Homo-oligomer: A and B are copies of this chain.
Amino acid sequence: MNFSFELHATDGKARTGVIKTARGDIRTPAFMPVGTAGTVKAMMPGSVRDTGADILLGNTYHLMLRPTAERIDRLGGLHKFMNWERPILTDSGGFQVMSLADLRKLTEKGVTFKSHIDGSKHEITPERSMEIQRLLGSDIVMCFDECPALPADRKTIADSMRLSMRWAARSRDAFGDRPGHALFGIQQGGLEQDFRAESAQSLIDIGFDGYALGGLAVGEGQKAMFDVLDFAPDMLPQDKPRYLMGVGKPDDIVGAVARGVDMMDCVLPSRSGRTGQVFTRRGVVNIKNARHADDPRPLDEDCTCPACQNYSRAYLHHVFRSQEIISSMLLTWHNLHYYQELMAGMRRAIGEGCFESWQRTFHQSKAQGDIEQI
C-alpha cells in the first residue's frame, strides 16, 4: 500500500482528511506525540494509542547515538523495538544537532558534531540521514535541513535556506524509491515571505509526498509565527499534507490548523506532564500549587482520561510533591489525552463547517481560567 492523502473537508483555510499509510490511517489535523528515545516518556505505547494518537515522532539524533540506528535495524526496526505498530515519523536529526550537540561544524557536505551523551564524534549528511531513517524503518522520513537561529540577517537566512534546498535534492536522491514510505520536504526562509516562496518552489520542483514548515516555533513568538502561517502554507501544494514542526501550545495548534496546517508535533504535553503543568479546557493548571492539596475534584470533570476519572487534584498534588513516578504517568496521560481531544474536536468542527464557532468556544473556555478554589 502506498502513501496517500485524502482531503475530506475544508472550512476557511482549515482542512480535515486522512493520510493513508501501510501501517494505518492518520486522521488530520493530527498531533504527533514525541517518542524521543524509543518511548513517549512515562507512557506505555498502548496508552498513547488510547489517547487517540495515530502516529508518533521519533528523534533521529537521539536514536542514532543510543542505541544506534544499526542496532535498531538488527532488532527489526523501531516499530518492533518500541512496540508501536502504527506509523512513525522521524525527524532528520538536523534540528537537534543544532540545539543539543557540541562542537558542531557545518559544511556543504553536512554536519559533524560531538554527542551530548559521551562526546563521541559523528557526521550527518543528507545521505546519512536518509540511511538512518531507513534503518529505523520510519514511515514518514524528513529531509535533512539546516535551521538558523532567529533573529538573523536576510543574507544568513537566504544562504541557510538555499543550503537546505540543495540538501533537500540530495535527500530526495538518497531516499530513492521506497513504496509505502514517504519523504517530506521542509520549507525554510525564516519570517521572510520571498524566501518562503522561493523555498516552496524549490521543494515543489523536486517533488515530495508532504511538505513541512520548518524554522518556526524557535522563539519568534506566536504573532510572528502566525504572520508566516498566514501566507506560507498557501505556497505548498493543496493535495499534500502540511506539517508544522515542533508546535506547540494548544492555542498555537488551533491557530495553525486555522491557517491550513495538517500535522504537528511537540514535546510540550509530555514534558509538562513531568513538570506538573496540566492542560485543560480552562487553561493551564499547575498541580504543584498548594491550592490543590485538599481539593477532591478532578483536573477536569468532563475529561475521560484515567487521571481525571480516578484521581482527585489532591492526589495528583500529593504524588507530584512526593516525586512519585505515577505523577508523570498520570499527568502525561492527561495532557496527551487533552491534545488528542483537541485535535478530534477540530476535525469534527471542520467536517461540520463550524470551525469558527468552535474556535470561539475554545478561546472563551480557556479565558475562563481554572475552576474556583474550594
List A36-56 residues whose CB lies under 8 Å from chain B: 37-39, 41-44
Cβ-defined contact, B324 with A293, below 8 A: no
Give min CB distance, A333 to chain B, whole Å.
9
Would you call A83 an interface residue if the criterion is a C-beta within 8 Å of the partner chain's C-beta atoms? yes
Q: Are A82 and B294 in contact (CB under 8 A)?
A: no
Is A38 a contact partner of B315 (Cβ separation < 8 A)?
yes
**A17-45 interface bits toward B, Cβ cutoff 8 Å, 1 = contact, 0 = none:** 00000000000000000000111011110
Stretch at the interface among A3-11, A70-78, A144-152, A351-359: A70-78
The residues in A between 82 and 120 inclusive whose CB is less than 8 angstroms from any CB of B are: 82-83
Q: Quick check: is A328 within 8 A (CB to CB) of the other chain? A: yes
**Which bracket fits the contact residues of A?**
35 or more
Q: Residue A284 at the B interface, CB < 8 A? A: no
Of A37, A74, A76, the most chain B CB neighbours within 10 A belong to A37
Asked, given contacts A37-B324, A75-B312, whether A66 binds B329 with beta carbons under 8 Å apart, the answer is no
A312 to B310, CA, bound (A): 32
For residue A147, give the distance in angstroms from its CB to the closest CB of chain B. 25
> Which residues from B are CB-within-8-Å of A317?
67
Residues A66 and B322 in contact in the complex (CB < 8 Å), given A44-B329, A315-B82, A329-B44: yes
- Per the bound structure, the CA–CA distance linking A66 and B293 in Å amounts to 10
Instruction: Assess the A311–B71 pair: CB atoms within 8 A.
Output: no
Interface residues of A in 295-318 (CB under 8 A from B): 296, 306, 310-312, 314-315, 317-318
Among residues 315 to 374 in chain A, which have CB atoms less than 8 Å away from a CB atom of chain B? 315, 317-319, 321-322, 324-326, 328-329
Asked if A75 meets B38 with Cβ closer than 8 Å, knowing A314-B67, A329-B329, the reply is no
Find out whether the CB atom of A325 lies under 8 angstroms from the CB atom of B325.
Answer: yes
Indicate if A208 sits at the interface (CB-CB under 8 A): no
Known: A314-B71, A325-B328, A325-B329. A306 touches B82 (CB 8 A): no
Q: Is the CB of B318 within 8 A of A66?
A: yes
Cα of A303 to Cα of B146 in the assembled complex, Å: 46
| Known contacts A306-B44, A315-B81, A67 near B293 by CB under 8 Å | yes
Name the B residues within 8 Å of A315 (CB-CB).
38, 75, 81-83
9 A-B residue pairs with Cβ-Cβ distance under 8 Å, sorted by A, are: A41-B325, A41-B326, A42-B325, A44-B306, A71-B314, A74-B294, A75-B294, A81-B314, A82-B315
Taking A44-B306, A83-B310 as known contacts, 11 extra A-B pairs with beta carbons closer than 8 A to each other, sorted by chain A number, are: A38-B318, A38-B324, A39-B319, A42-B329, A66-B321, A67-B293, A67-B314, A67-B317, A74-B294, A75-B314, A75-B315
